[in-house]
């Protein structure tokens, strides 16, 4: 990414807190912290020291009226103890983490300059789940990276089977001008990349559906932030970042309501509005 988007920089903590307070005063209930590698955040804190993402989140949750915080996208190499502790300690930090790994092959990870091994990633997942047992994970995968063998691709499948993701994004490798990989030998034919992508997507699709099915019968606080696909529906995101739809009056748009899941689909949940819930926050 740095080859195409340039170096990262971090905003001062004070600027972020002021903006968050202003947004909440305007009616915002959930915030998402964004960055190309957001957990590499290293902004100047209120005390003049450099703060990481975990400390920033601890300050943000003190904002009156703020119900939920999410962040994306993360790099496994920058998940530190403070951020893991935030997942354990802060109910306002949603139990969902997008943590791209890209491949399960150590050789491919090194060629991608990823700075971690597959075993490193699995150890990190174990630590995160020890801190927050209900944490749902998503990831990014690239298939068909230059030189990827069938055995190396199967290592990726094994990693997916081990972790069991709630959702994933997956792509065929495509050369980007100016990047080192574009000049590597061993560029794979499209037919191989397409076949591997189909196999990987079948696996992650089955895992996503299985995770969604575990939510049937459960109730979640959901910010109903927009109309649904059908007339009379509103939709939002569960704490686990699943799209969720329910029949609900339009006057409830913009409020947090308790929804009970009635059916699971591959990419979404169907739900009903629980009566007399009023506005609620995730706990």
What is the CATH number that goes with domain 219-273?
2.40.50.140
Q: Where are the domains of the chain?
A: 1-77, 95-214, 219-273
pLDDT of residue 283: 33
> Nearest-CA neighbor of 146 among 185, 94, 116?
185
Q: Which class does domain 95-214 fall in?
A: alpha beta
- Is the confidence at residue 281, as pLDDT, over 70? no
Band (160; pLDDT cuts 50, 70, 90): very high
Q: Report the alpha-carbon distance of residue 205 to residue 54 in Å, rounded.
A: 31
Q: Report the alpha-carbon distance of residue 207 to residue 264 in Å, rounded.
A: 12
Report residue 199 as tokens.
């196999």
- Is the confidence at residue 3, as pLDDT, over 80? no
Q: Do 55 and 61 meet the contact criterion of CB atoms below 8 Å apart? A: no
Band (98; pLDDT cuts 50, 70, 90): very high
| Cis bond before residue 185 (omega within 30° of 0) | no
Question: Are 95-214 and 219-273 the same fold in CATH?
Answer: no
**pLDDT digit string, tens, across residues 26-70:** 999 999 999 989 999 999 999 999 999 999 999 999 999 999 999
Q: Report the alpha-carbon distance of residue 221 to residue 280 in Å, rounded.
A: 6
165-186 average pLDDT score: 88
Band (186; pLDDT cuts 50, 70, 90): confident
Band (175; pLDDT cuts 50, 70, 90): confident
> Nearest-CA neighbor of 145 among 186, 113, 92, 110?
186
> Nearest-CA neighbor of 247 among 275, 216, 266?
275
- Is the confidence at residue 79, as pLDDT, over 70? yes
CA distance readout (Å), 189 to 42, 193, 196, 279: 41, 7, 11, 53
Q: Please give the helix or strand (H or E) that residue 163 lies within, else none.
A: helix 150-163
> Nearest-CA neighbor of 199 among 172, 226, 178, 230?
172
- Report helix, strand or coil for 271: strand
């Amino acid at each position: 990414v740095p080859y195409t988007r340039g170096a990262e920089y971090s905003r001062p903590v004070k600027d972020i807190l002021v903006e968050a307070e202003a947004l909440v005063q305007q009616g915002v209930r959930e915030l998402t912290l964004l960055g190309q590698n957001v957990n590499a955040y290293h902004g100047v804190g209120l005390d003049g020291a450099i703060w990481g993402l975990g400390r920033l989140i601890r300050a943000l949750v003190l904002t009156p009226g703020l119900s939920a915080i999410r962040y994306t996208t993360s790099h496994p190499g920058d998940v530190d103890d403070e951020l893991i502790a935030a997942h354990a300690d802060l109910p306002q930090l949603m139990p969902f983490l997008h943590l791209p790994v890209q491949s399960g092959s150590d050789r491919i990870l090194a060629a991608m300059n990823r700075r971690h091994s597959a075993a490193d990633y699995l150890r990190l997942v174990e630590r995160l789940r020890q801190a927050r047992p209900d944490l749902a994970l998503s990831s990014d995968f690239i298939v068909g990276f230059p030189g990827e063998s069938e055995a190396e691709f199967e290592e990726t499948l094994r990693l997916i089977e081990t972790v069991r993701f709630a959702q994933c994004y997956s792509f065929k490798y495509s050369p980007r001008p100016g990047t080192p990989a574009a000049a590597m030998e061993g560029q794979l034919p499209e037919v191989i990349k397409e076949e591997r992508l189909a196999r990987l997507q079948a696996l992650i699709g089955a895992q996503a559906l299985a995770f969604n099915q575990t939510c049937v019968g459960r109730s979640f606080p959901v910010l109903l932030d927009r109309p649904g696909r059908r007339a009379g529906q509103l939709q939002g995101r569960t704490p686990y970042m699943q799209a969720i739809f329910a029949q609900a009056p339009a006057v409830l748009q913009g409020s947090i309501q308790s929804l009970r899941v009635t059916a699971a689909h591959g990419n979404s949940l169907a739900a009903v509005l629980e009566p007399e819930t009023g506005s609620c926050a995730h706990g």
